[in-house]
Amino acid sequence: MDDNFPKTERQQQAVNQAKKVFLVLLASGLSIGVIVSIGVIKLMNYFGLTEKTNQLEIIREKID
């Protein structure tokens, strides 16, 4: 809808409610994303997937 178009009271309430729902969904999505990313990082650290390995040693072990 065009912002210059006069809106009825009901239309204005619907727009405001849609904005609130959008902001709640956005905030909850960001919160869940932060929690999941922290969990993934902790799991990666637990299993040693963040440690830097020497690629030459890995290749030599596979060759031998």
User: How do residues 15-51 score in pLDDT, each as one tens digit?
Assistant: 999 999 999 999 999 999 999 999 999 998 888 888 8
Structure tokens at 53: 């390995």
Residue type, 20: K
pLDDT given at position 54: 78
For residue 4, is pLDDT > 70?
no
Closest CA to 16 of 29, 7, 6, 26: 7
pTM recorded for the entire structure = 0.65
Structure tokens at 40: 């993934």
pLDDT given at position 20: 97
pLDDT given at position 2: 57
